[in-house]
Amino acid sequence: MEPSSSPSPKDLQRIYKSLRLIRRAEEEVARIYPSDKIKSPVHLSIGQESVAVGVCDVLEAKDAVSGTYRGHATYLAKGGSLKGMMAELYGKDTGCARGKGGSMHLIEAEANVLGSSAVVGTTIPIAMGWALAAQKRKTGAVIAAFLGDGATEEGAFYESLNFASLHKLPIIFVCENNGYAIHTPISKRWATQHLCQRVATYDIPTFNIEDGDVFSIRNVASWAVDTARKGGGPTFMECRIYRWREHVGPADDYHIGYRAKTELEPWMQTDQVEKTGAMLDAESRAAIDKAVEKEIAEAVDFAEKSPFPKARALMENVYAG
Ligand SMILES: Cc1ncc(C[n+]2csc(CCOP(=O)(O)OP(=O)(O)O)c2C)c(N)n1
Ligand SMILES: [Mg+2]
């Protein structure tokens, strides 16, 4: 793999904007949530933004992503509409899934954001089908399939690794390893911690990025995307990261006792939103922050003013044709 080159000022601004937008949008979701205007359970990715941002920054418009129910970051980093997401959370007709899916089912075909699902692991084989189609149609497009550490315990994960490697599919498996499946730590779930070694037995190149650094993630993703585009097949990225808030909902959960707040501290000290922001000059940072706040306020306003779907919409888009 090539050594990473330092990001240009333009790269920096774009990456910071994406990180900041996701962070602030989710903080707004958390702020609004107790009002009950948001009709959907929310799995926030606050603290985990750098994985989606680092990977999506090297994808082209024709490339795709598949996410999980913790998918706000994936959706936004790939260019999904913030208005469409906010309205979806409010259950409104203008939402990206017409208000019927909620936070766990974000989709935006125009941005090549495949629909996500509440059922753990299920989007992995769907992403692989997309990769197979891209290969057969020779589009040169690639897909990044995001999954949690819990999803690596599903059979569909290993079936997908095997098939993708055998057929050299243009897919990048991106594991957001936050160390927990709901409240259960990896130490109580995995016989070994050697996830990359397990995946490597399928003859897939693997990379373990341990510190959540957005530029390290971007550098590996760039290599993986190039490799996949050239017909070199899949790559697996294990990105260690930390979920700052509770599994589902707007608050934190350190009082429950399944994890200690001391685990959070090193991640907060290397917060990628802050770290990347500090690399910018004060003026351009302030301009980005202002633009982000405006975008969020407009999206919330759009969601609030949008109508709920009509009752007859219940039966629309249920059956093909
Ligand atoms: C097939 C299936 N089994 C169990 C569940 C219940 N469940 C919901 S979230 C979750 C944890 C998944 O953890 P992980 O993949 O690490 O994602 P994270 O929430 O940490 O982002 C589980 C087991 C489910 N939704 N689907
Ligand atoms: Mg997890």
Find the 292 Cα to ligand 1 centroid distance in Å: 31
Q: How many CA atoms lie within 13 A of 102 on its CB side?
A: 12
Residue 168: Cβ within 10 Å count: 15
Residue 83's nearest CA partner among 316, 306, 310, 314 is: 306
Q: Convert the pLDDT of each residue in 108-149 to its tens digit.
A: 999 999 989 999 999 999 999 999 999 999 999 999 999 999
Which pLDDT score is estimated for 252? 96
**What pLDDT does residue 3 have?**
61
Residue 33 has pLDDT above 70, yes or no: yes
pLDDT score, position 314 = 87
| Domain-wise residue ranges, the chain | 9-38+46-79+118-245+265-305
Return d(Cα 244, Cα 242) in angstroms, integer: 6
The CA distances from residue 90 to 41, 76, 95, in Å, are 11, 17, 8
What's the pLDDT at 318? 84
Handedness of CA 318, 81, 8, 49 (dihedral sign): negative
Q: Given a cut of 90, is residue 320 above it in pLDDT?
A: no
Q: In the structure encoding, which two tokens stand for residue 263, read together?
A: 């685990």
Q: In the CATH scheme, what is the code of domain 9-38+46-79+118-245+265-305?
A: 3.40.50.970
Residue 79 neighbours by CB under 8 Å, 6+ apart: 56, 61, 108, 111, 113
Cα of 153 vs centre of ligand 1, distance in Å, is 10
Say yes or no to pLDDT of 35 above 90.
yes
Cβ contact 50:213 at 8 Å:
yes
Residue position matching structure tokens 């001391």: 262
The reported pTM is 0.97
Per-residue pLDDT, averaged over 193-219, amounts to 97
C-alpha distance from residue 252 to each of 246, 257, 273 (Å): 5, 12, 19
**Average pLDDT, integer, range 262-266:** 97
Mean pLDDT estimate for the chain: 97
**Residue whose CA is closest, atom 17 of ligand 1?**
148
Distance in angstroms (rounded) separating the CA atoms of residues 300 and 311 = 23
CA 40 to chain centre: 18
CA distances from 261 to 42, 264, 271 (A): 21, 5, 15
Assess whether pLDDT exceeds 80 at residue 321.
no
Nearest to 153 by CA among 169, 131, 175: 175
Minimal-distance CA residue to ligand 1 atom 8: 120
Q: Are 149 and 139 a contacting pair, CB within 8 Å?
A: no
Q: How confident is the model at residue 2 (pLDDT cuts 50, 70, 90)?
A: low
Where b means 16+ CB within 10 Å and e means fewer, 209-229 reads beebbbbbbbbbbbbbbebbe
Residues having CB closer than 6 A to ligand 1 are: 70, 118-120, 148-151, 178, 180-182, 247
Nearest atom in ligand 1 to the alpha carbon of residue 45 is 21
pLDDT computed for residue 293 by the predictor? 98
Q: Which ligand 1 atom minimizes the distance to the CA of 177? A: 16
Task: Specify whether the CB–CB gap between 103 and 72 falls below 8 A.
Answer: yes
Is 238 buried (19+), middle (13-18) or exposed (0-12) by CB count in 10 A?
buried
- For the CA of 247, the closest atom of ligand 1 is 19
